[in-house]
Homo-oligomer: A and B are copies of this chain.
């Protein structure tokens, strides 16, 4: 591997994994991507809760969170600010969609140094590409962070202009759902809103922090046109934090008080500051 990530498989330092893993064969598994700052993962409990919910929905055995915590510590050792991906799969299995009853699962933990979000971007916001690839509607998989991510891969492959930090994704009924790699929120008539995720989407941990910080926020169906009437649009990610959106196509947005408040909530949660100190 070319990048300096550190890899552990099933509790040991490793370079690879068995090729009969069902995560590779069918995407039969889940993942979490989390920030670890000075050895601590501020949003750990919520990541574990989402992983447990994913196991329940996919009918997978659930890893023990204490074991995962030890694995994450071993992988990040020596990194001050790390991004860790925990992948939890249905483990090895013979050919075919049926899992073995005795399937034990497999855990893969990979750590890499955090590449900091540019403070200018965090202050002034990001521009979004408008992706043609849509979220399909599958209530059985909605909300969980499973390994079937081709829609996001295809959406992300639609642009290579680096002036777009991420891409807006609608569902096949033209509702606003997310960007390719973050949750999205908006403010309409002073009310913070997040897309309902009962048909598709990922229930982001950054989104959960945003919801916890905004007691008046609502989760609802959001048509594409509501973005035009929004006073603020922002992204929430458990890795990159809270980022204002400054443009979607021709529509420009100013950074507003809700996004600024979420950035304060991010810092208060134990994450590094996002903006220039002189630009609160």
Interface presence of A5 (CB below 8 A):
yes
Residues 76-93 of chain A, each 1 if its beta carbon lies under 8 Å from chain B, else 0: 000000010101011010
Decide: A27 near B87, CB < 8 A? Known: A19-B15, A59-B157, A108-B19: no
Q: Is the CB of A58 within 8 A of B21?
A: no
Interface presence of A215 (CB below 8 A):
no
Q: Is the CB of B133 within 8 A of A136?
A: no
Q: Is the CB of B97 within 8 A of A181?
A: yes
CB-contacts of A65-81 with B (<8 A): none
Interface presence of A62 (CB below 8 A):
no
Interface presence of A95 (CB below 8 A):
yes
> In this complex, what residue of B is CB-closest to A148?
B148
Q: Is the CB of B149 within 8 A of A27?
A: yes
CB-contacts of A48-63 with B (<8 A): 58-59
Q: Is the CB of A20 within 8 A of B98?
A: no
Instruction: Kindly report how many copies of this chain are found in the complex they form together.
Output: 2
With A and B bound together, what is the CA distance between A99 and B9 in angstroms? 23
Interface segment, one of A138-146, A190-198, A216-224, A243-251:
A138-146
CB-contacts of A97-128 with B (<8 A): 97-99, 108, 110, 112
Report the interface size for chain A: residues with CB under 8 A from the other chain: 62
Interface presence of A227 (CB below 8 A):
no
Q: List 24 A-B contacts (CB under 8 A).
A: A2-B94, A3-B20, A7-B19, A15-B19, A19-B108, A19-B110, A20-B110, A24-B87, A24-B108, A27-B27, A27-B147, A28-B153, A58-B154, A85-B95, A95-B112, A96-B181, A98-B156, A99-B157, A133-B140, A134-B138, A137-B172, A140-B151, A141-B150, A141-B151
- Residues of A that sit less than 8 Å from B by CB: 1-3, 5, 7, 9, 14-28, 31, 33, 58-59, 83, 85, 87, 89-90, 92, 94-99, 108, 110, 112, 133-134, 136-138, 140-141, 146-157, 172, 180-181
CB-CB nearest 4 A-B residue pairs = A148-B148, A27-B27, A26-B149, A97-B156
